[in-house]
Structure 1
């Protein structure tokens, strides 16, 4: 038997061979063709590029920019229309530079070096009583009275000093901000903070409140209005000032308060909606004495001195009340010209400059 066969001869007939070739040709025509070597190389390179990670600094073509200018302009215009519709009264302020919502001033921690800048001319109104005034940026009530950090002084510890400073501010609130006192009521809470063992001071308080005069003037300590002649507009009083302290006589804690108050008022007459402002700058110096060395009551202070400077509160009138004028021109005095909002000058320096002149001219209200 022959296992390998003979390569030089064939056992197929001519007809079988012819049929084999025909079937082979048909099969090859339908079979997929093998790609060429170049085709295989190109395919492999493309696959490698698709799988390659993108470098972190590779360039990206910029995205097409959208034309949003006209859209943004239209949105701003629409918002302006809404604002005008909701608050038409504010539109004139945009052009005059005056705004009741001006940025609040930082607390006064030291004496200013110059008066506040001028404001756009604008009359106060019932809705905006501080319009056209530097006080529009001031704080309200006791928030505008700055207390310093406490430290041990004289006979007091740091904690005691902090408490005395707070009580000193309580006196300012009770004497110059209390709604009842502003309406002319008796300042009982304020007086309760004053040491009763001061015979001269007690006599002054009683006399000034019952029979006011040039010598006995309660306005050096208290702000009061006669409601038959003036009514407060709203319940906001603008304030700006600070409290300082040091050691006084016999180890006492000496506290000095220097505060300017701005009161918006209107006439009580029916149909009269004119609004004006009364400006009061008051300096009160007080001692919180050592009870081991001075007769006093706990929680009270002794009055050392007081000064007051008023604008549009009545000149040479000693009724015990702040008496404003509602005339358009408030500069009726023939004395020194004074800016009532200027806190850059100490009160004793201002008084010395004015001399004996009592009624000056205010540059603004």
Structure 2
């Protein structure tokens, strides 16, 4: 770690956090030579980076996602209270799926920029940085969706109180969470059978992305994925909250024009969701999870797609049922 004293002029100040010396040098060069910034600090791990950022209070910090011991996502949490510092993830991994980029932005990142832009399109990189700093104030975590959105769902399927994240809660929420814990599905542990199921679903419906998710109290877990990175994300980002409450096929034809989702980071990020089709996975009479189809462009959802999705939801439920000893449900 190294740092310099603040210069007397008010050039923009940046701290670079990356465990690669090559990337540090590349970022230092583009900030100092092309953008005219003062690079006031370099750090290669999250702990020293957090201390440096608090000491220097730069205008902007760039953060690598993959670092030893503590990753970039955790660093965002460590400096979340520094709302005057713009935080930019510079990483290729953040673009593995819209879900990862959206969860990072929900955690406090002002933007995610691909590392390849440094070499392939430095002008684009500089333009993104300038646009971030031109914003009137730092971005906050994802803004809440309007509570009025609840009215689009059947009254009996939604609890009377909406949580602060403004997503609907199933009326049997506590029983659903207890069953989810007993079965042990809320994790990122790969599941080969369910992965094969969503791969088949994507291929037969011509949707680019298919997933199976399970939602616990605070997080949505992508348990099985086709063309999307397996991950967990904050619960308030999940479209599947609405699927669980709808109790039937839930369709969003164009999320960008839907008041419930237009401000969702999964929609506003690059390559974000436009069309979503979800079907509850019903286990022991409970909407335990959801199987979903996603596209980054608006599209018409045909009856054939819905029929296929419902069939796959029943198969997913049977796969889960065959693995669980009867006492696990009866307990």
TM-score scaled by structure 1? 0.26
**Rg larger for:** 1
Could you state the TM-score of these two structures normalised by the residue count of structure 2?
0.27
Greater length-normalized contact order (CA 8 Å, ≥ 6 residues apart) = 1
